[in-house]
Amino acid sequence: MTDFAAIKSEFPILNQSIHGHPLVYLDSGATAQKPQAVIDAESHFYETINAGVHRGAHELAARSTVAFEEARAKVARLVNANADEGQEEIVVTAGATAGLNLLATAFGNASQGRGGDAAKRFSIKPGDEIVVSKAEHHSVLLSFQELAARTGATLKWFDLDEYGSILSDTADTVITPRTKVVAITEISNVTGHITDVAPIVARAHEVGAIVVLDVCQSVPHIPVDVKALDVDFACWSGHKMYGPTGVGFMYGRRELLDALPPASFGGSMVELAWMDKPAQYMEPPARFEAGTQPVAQVVAAGVAAEWMMNIGMETIAEHEKTITRELLKLGDVPGVKILGRPDMEDRIGTVAFEVEGVHPHDVGQFIDSMGIAIRMGHHCAQPIHRHFGYYASNRASSGVYNTPEDAKALVDAVSQVRGYFLGK
């Protein structure tokens, strides 16, 4: 039996009162809190081996390089990517947004003829199609909308059902022989719905399109196996998986990473640079890691990955279901509507909701006054809010440290909102 109370006690930030109440943190969809092991890993790095990686001849640089590469291997193990030397499939980025922009920029570069013959498979021309969905976080939507604008391609999208779930069974019509890239999220950061991406991936590959999966909300909450998902690229952030801010990861199928041209340029990604002829870039993953890397954060993110694997992703997912079940009782509160499925089917503990007649900002502030942290706003996902007919919402999102009591406290607080603001 996993001792989740002991796990919670590993998070020092949770041991405090806010506005006179014990802190209840239900905003892990925005960013997760960090266990002591992750906090210690970052400071231990600075105290013992801080140095730039891959460039120094001195001992500290050698040690920091080993720690950096070990962290890459741990993160690879978390998502079942290859970590063998020379076959690495994990690229360090500054976060999910940076990874998605990297891909969109690199595909754009390939479309302008960069990267030679090998990169032609990423080339997009006017008349081609790029497919996203209406459930995307802006980091997917805008990156690939820009790519469409840059290449003259047409942006198409999957529509959503009444619960805001991506209609993956329309893949055969949305994805056509003209589709070059399909970029979608596995789990919505608004509804918490887990999309069955299999039909989308199958159809995309049938027409020769590249699949980019946003697994930002997946990696912290459910087992992710990039090989089983059969996607070509996947991006996520370190800070949502109990790791530090400023770092994220991009999975790329190795033969595609080999063929992909770089998106940013500078030190540590080039073998040979000349004044009068094109540079010769390094092999992946270095080709995509220009400049000094956030080494301490990567090392600490590796510790976070290991920390999650030690608990077990299935165990984490099962535990969070106990919180989700309680969170869904928000739907029983008079005047409260859940944006998304009101039941446990294919979802994580991310529950967005509207309180009729009360602005989400007021709801959030009222909840905050009770020491409960939730999110308010459009959560960087405006089209799905429009789909529901709202501009903004409130969102509770669970983490491994939450308890069913946390969710009960939120439901209790929300049930007081309409009385406080509307006298109802």
Ligand X SMILES: Cc1ncc(COP(=O)(O)O)c(C=O)c1O
Catalytic sites, residue numbers: 380
Among positions 8, 42, 88, 95, the unique one binding ligand X when judged by CB under 6 A: 95
Strands 17-18 and 336-339: unpaired
Q: Smallest distance from the beta carbon of 329 to ligand X, in angstroms?
A: 24
Q: Is 33 in the site for ligand X (CB under 6 A)?
A: no
Q: Smallest distance from the beta carbon of 309 to ligand X, in angstroms?
A: 21
Residue 405: strand, helix, or coil: helix
Q: In 3D, which of 306, 367, 357 has the Cα closest to residue 35?
A: 306
- 188: exposed, middle or buried (Cβ count in 10 Å: 0-12, 13-18, 19+): buried
Binding piece for ligand X, criterion CB under 6 A, among 54-62, 90-98, 269-277, 364-372: 90-98
Residue window 100-139: x/- pattern of binding to ligand X, with contact defined by CB under 6 A: -------------------------------------x-x
For the beta carbon of residue 299, count every other beta carbon within 10 angstroms: 28
Calpha distance 248→276 (Å, rounded): 35
Q: Within 282-403, where are the H helices?
A: 295-311, 313-327, 360-368, 382-388
Q: In the complex with ligand X, which residue's Cβ is closer, 179 or 217?
A: 217
Q: In the complex with ligand X, which residue's Cβ is closer, 123 or 133?
A: 133
Binding piece for ligand X, criterion CB under 6 A, among 64-72, 79-87, 91-99, 122-130: 91-99
- 84: exposed, middle or buried (Cβ count in 10 Å: 0-12, 13-18, 19+): exposed
Q: Is 201 in the site for ligand X (CB under 6 A)?
A: no
Q: Is 143 in the site for ligand X (CB under 6 A)?
A: no
Q: Is 293 in the site for ligand X (CB under 6 A)?
A: no
- 160: exposed, middle or buried (Cβ count in 10 Å: 0-12, 13-18, 19+): buried
Q: In the complex with ligand X, which residue's Cβ is closer, 18 or 380?
A: 380
Residue window 227-246: x/- pattern of binding to ligand X, with contact defined by CB under 6 A: ----------x---------
Helices (H) and strands (E) in the chain, counts: 15, 17
Do the beta carbons of residue 401 and residue 316 sit within 8 Å? no
Binding piece for ligand X, criterion CB under 6 A, among 62-70, 89-97, 102-110, 406-414: 89-97
Q: Smallest distance from the beta carbon of 95 to ligand X, in angstroms?
A: 3
Among positions 133, 185, 191, 394, the unique one binding ligand X when judged by CB under 6 A: 185
Among positions 76, 92, 96, 201, the unique one binding ligand X when judged by CB under 6 A: 96
Binding piece for ligand X, criterion CB under 6 A, among 57-65, 212-220, 257-265, 335-343: 212-220
- What are the tokens at 116? 């030679």
Q: Which residues, including other chains, have CB under 8 Å from residue 79's CB and lie 6 or more apart? A: 90, 215, 219, 224, 225, 226, 234, 251
Among positions 111, 217, 297, 402, the unique one binding ligand X when judged by CB under 6 A: 217
- What letters, b where the CB count within 10 A reaches 16 and e where it falls short, cover 362-377? bbbebbbebbbbbbbb
Among positions 214, 289, 326, 406, the unique one binding ligand X when judged by CB under 6 A: 214
Q: Smallest distance from the beta carbon of 137 to ligand X, in angstroms?
A: 4
Residues that bind ligand X (CB under 6 A): 95-97, 137, 139, 185, 189, 214, 216-217, 237, 380
